[in-house]
Structure 1
C-alpha cells in the first residue's frame, strides 16, 4: 500500500531553481506592473490596490477551487499578490504617511502573526502541507503579507537608507546567497530557510523593478513600465516551459 505522501500532492510547486527564477521575475513584474497602474495610468495607489486586490481574490478562489496544482493558476495568483503588495505598500508608505519604517514594522508584525497563527492552527507552515483549503488560505494570506512587506523593505533600503537600487539589489542578493550556503552547509530548518528566501526575493524584485523603470536622475534606467512588464511576463512563460513545474509532495 502506498503511503500518504506518495498519494497526495500539494497545491504548490516543488521548490527548485526554476521556482526561484520564476519567483524573482514575478516579484519584479509586480513592481513594474503595480507602478504602471498607479503611476503611468494615473490610477493612484488606492484605486490600483482595489483593482489588484479584486484580481487577487479571484485568483485565490480559482487556486483553491482547483483540484490539483496548475502552474498557470499558481503563478497568476503569485503575480496578483505581488502587484497588490506593490500598490498597497506604496499607499501605506506614501498616502497614509507612515513612511517606509512604519510600513515595514507593521507588515513584519502582520507577517509574523500570520505564520504563528498558521503554525498554531495546523501544526506546520511547511509548503509541503499546502494540500487543503485551510492550509491554502493561510499560505496565500502569508504570501500577501510577505509581498507587501518586501515592497516596503526594498523601498526603505533603496531610498531612506540611501543604498540606491543597485546597492539594495546587491544587499538582498547577498542575503539570498547566504541562505543558499546555509541550505547546503547547515541543518537549519528548511521551512525557515524557505520563508526567509521567499520574503527576501520580494525586496530584490522591488528594487530591480524600480531600477528598470525609474528615471535616470533617480538612478534607474527609465525603461517603459509597460515594456518591462511584458518582457518579464514573457521570461516567466519561457521559464515555465523550460523548467517543468511539478507539484510538491504533500506531507502531514
Structure 2
C-alpha cells in the first residue's frame, strides 16, 4: 500500500474543470504515514476529551471551535500547490478531533445509539466513495491532484474518523475487552488487511481505506490506555501528558519528513495506477 506522486500542470480554469493542475497532495504511504496517522488518531481521542474538560465550552462549543480551526487549515491546504507535510498533517490531526467530536455529539448530546451512528457513517462514507468514483472514475489517492479530488479525499477522511470512532466505541461497549486488548484486536484486523492485500491480492485502494478506518479505533484504544485512570484499566498519564507526548512525536516526524522528503516521490517517476 504505497503511493507515488504525479506532477501535473495547468491553469485556474483547469481547476474548475477538474483536470490535473498540480502535484499529488497526499504523501507516499510508507511506515511514516501509518505511524503519524495512528498518532493523530490518538491525539484526536485525547485532545477531544481534554478540550471538553478544560475549555468549559461544552461538547457543542468545542466542536464548533475545532471545526472553525479545521476549516482554516483546509483553506491553506487547498491553496498549496503540492504536498506540504506540516499543513497536511495538521489538517489530519484537526480532522481526527472533529470526527471524534461529531460522533461524541451524536452519542452524548442527541442520544443516538452507536449502532445507528456507525451505520449512518458507513453509508455516508460509501456515498462519498460512490460520488468520487462516479465523477473521477478512480478512488486512487495517488492522484489527489485537483481541487475536486482533494475535496472528495478530505470528506472521505472526515467520515473515516467519525466511522472509526463510532465503530470503535461500539466494539468496546459491546465486548468490554479493555483498552489494551481492544488495541491488539484492531492491530490484528489491520494486519489481516495487509495480508489480504500483499498475499491474496485485495485491491490496493480498498485495502488502504479499510486500514485507514481501522487505525482510528486502534489509536483511540492506545490513547485511552495511556490517559485513563489505573482504576479504569489505563496507565493514568492523563489527557494532557498523553496529548503533549504524542503531539511532540508527530512534530518530530513531520520535521524529519519536511527535511528529508522521504514521503515525496520525485516527479519523474511513474505514478502507480490504482482504481
TM range (shorter): over 0.9
Query: What is the root-mean-square deviation in Å for CA atoms of aligned residues?
Result: 1.8
Is 1:238 aligned to 2:252, yes or no?
yes
Q: Higher helix share goes to which structure?
A: 1
Residue 123 of structure 1: aligned partner: 137
Equivalent residue number for residue 49 of structure 2:
35
Cα distance in structure 1, aligned partners of 2:102 and 2:250: 23
Return the alpha-carbon distance in structure 2 between the equivalents of residues 173 and 87 of structure 1. Answer: 23
Matches of 1:6 and 1:78, distance apart in 2: 21
Question: Does 2:158 align with 1:151?
Answer: no
| Deviation for aligned residue 1:222 | 2.2
Q: Which residue of 1 aligns with 2:90?
A: 76
C-alpha separation in 2, matches of 1:65 and 1:251: 25
What's the TM-score, normalizing by structure 1? Answer: 0.92
TM-score, with normalisation over the residues of structure 2?
Answer: 0.85
Structure with the greater alpha carbon radius of gyration: 2
> Structure 2 matches for 1:11-26, cutoff 5 A?
11-26=25-40
2:148 matched to 1:134? yes
Q: Does 1:188 align with 2:206?
A: no
| 1:74-223 aligned within 5 A | 74-223=88-237
Structure 2 residue matching 1:210: 3-state secondary structure: helix
Say if 1:39 and 1:100 are closer, same or farther in 2 by CA, change over 3 A. Answer: farther
Partner of 1:7: 7
Distance 2:138 2:250 in 1: 30
Deviation at 1:242, TM superposition (A): 4.3
Preserved contact between residue 168 and residue 204 of structure 1 (Cα < 8 Å): yes
Change (3 A) 1:138 1:247: farther
CA contact (8 A) 1:38 1:87 kept: no
SS at match of 1:131: coil
Aligned counterpart, 1:229: 243
Q: What runs of 5+ residues in structure 2 fail to find an aligned partner?
A: 9-22
Corresponding residue pairs, total: 248
Q: What stretches of structure 1 move > 6 A for 4+ residues in a row?
A: none
**Would the alpha carbon gap of residues 127 and 63 (structure 1) be closer, same or farther in structure 2, given more than 3 Å must change?**
same
Determine if contact 2:6/2:24 at 8 Å carries over to the other structure.
no
Question: How far did residue 159 of structure 1 move?
Answer: 2.3
For residues 78-97 of structure 1, what are the alpha-carbon distances to aligned partners after superposition, in whole Å with 9 as ceiling and x for unaligned?
Answer: 01110011111111112110
Q: CA deviation at 1:6?
A: 5.5
Instruction: Map 1:57-68 onto structure 2 (within 5 A).
Output: 57-68=71-82
Q: Structure 1 stretches of 5 or more lacking a match? A: none
Q: Deviations over 1:124-151 (max 9, x none)?
A: 1110120000000000011001111111
Pair 1:56-2:73 in alignment: no
